[in-house]
Chain A
Amino acid sequence: AQSVTQPDARVTVSEGASLQLRCKYSYFGTPYLFWYVQYPRQGLQLLLKYYPGDPVVQGVNGFEAEFSKSNSSFHLRKASVHWSDWAVYFCAVSPGTQVVGQLTFGRGTRLQVYA
């Protein structure tokens, strides 16, 4: 069975600092990986998605993520954090396209940004 681990429940950074949110996945085979963001009192929104190919994927609002098969990781990065990035970030894994019902989410990492 597939699974996702986000080891950091909470991350606090100052505005303008760089950011990395960690994600480790478990899946036998080639996974499809996603980052979703949940702003306060809203549903989740897709930030970016990885399909087999280029390991670095670009998302919205300056976010990017890098897939590493050797480390079973899909970490999210941003060069300079803005206060509006304060949200909960979810990593998710799927065995492939056309099987959306098997999307598995991590527990989420709450990002707090201070001035």
Chain B
Amino acid sequence: DAGVTQTPRHEVAEKGQTIILKCEPVSGHNDLFWYRQTKIQGLELLSYFRSKSLMEDGGAFKDRFKAEMLNSSFSTLKIQPTEPKDSAVYLCASSHWGSAETLYFGSGTRLTVL
């Protein structure tokens, strides 16, 4: 079975640009998560979908971050406009509802904002 696929692996953006990160969850998984990972803050939950419905939108990230799940096999995370402090690794994870917190993570997208 294919795991979680994230593209691109690396993204470099100028301040103020719009970037879109992509994620394909494990086939058949109902839950999808976006996390931001930095050395200072660790893992921060950005968004959480269950069966394509947004369950949690990560409070502090609302204004410039928007995650969408157009169908059960594809999700995007849009950052608009980007700021240098957004430089981080963005991780997507999926899980099958009822599988008890076994998250399957993608390899992440490393974003650098200049």
Chain A interface (Cβ within 8 Å of chain B)?
A: 32, 34, 36, 41-46, 49, 51, 90, 92, 94, 97-98, 100-101, 103, 105-108
**A43 touching B95 in the complex, CB below 8 Å, given contacts A49-B100, A101-B45, A101-B50:** no
Q: Would you list the 4 A-B pairs with minimal beta carbon distance, nearest first?
A: A43-B105, A107-B42, A101-B48, A105-B43
Q: Within 8 Å CB of A34, what residues of B?
A: 101
Interface size of B by CB at 8 A reads 24
Chain B interface main SS type: strand
Q: Which of B68-105 contact A (CB under 8 A)?
A: 91, 93, 95, 97-98, 100-105
Complex: A94 Cα to B101 Cα, angstroms:
8
* B105 contacts A44, C-beta separation under 8 Å: yes
* A108 contacts B42, C-beta separation under 8 Å: yes
* B98 contacts A45, C-beta separation under 8 Å: no
Partner of A43, one of B4, B31, B100, B101: B4
Query: Is B106 part of the contact surface with A, judged by Cβ < 8 Å?
Result: yes
* B101 contacts A97, C-beta separation under 8 Å: yes
Query: Is B55 part of the contact surface with A, judged by Cβ < 8 Å?
Result: yes
Q: Within 8 Å CB of B103, what residues of A?
A: 36, 44, 46, 100, 103
Complex: A51 Cα to B106 Cα, angstroms:
25
Complex: A51 Cα to B48 Cα, angstroms:
23
* B107 contacts A41, C-beta separation under 8 Å: yes
Q: Name 17 extra pairs, CB < 8 A, besides A32-B100, A43-B93, A44-B105.
A: A41-B107, A42-B107, A43-B105, A43-B107, A45-B105, A46-B102, A49-B102, A90-B43, A97-B101, A100-B95, A100-B101, A101-B31, A101-B33, A101-B56, A103-B103, A105-B43, A107-B42
| A to B CB contacts below 8 Å, 6 in the list | A43-B93, A43-B104, A43-B108, A46-B103, A105-B43, A107-B42
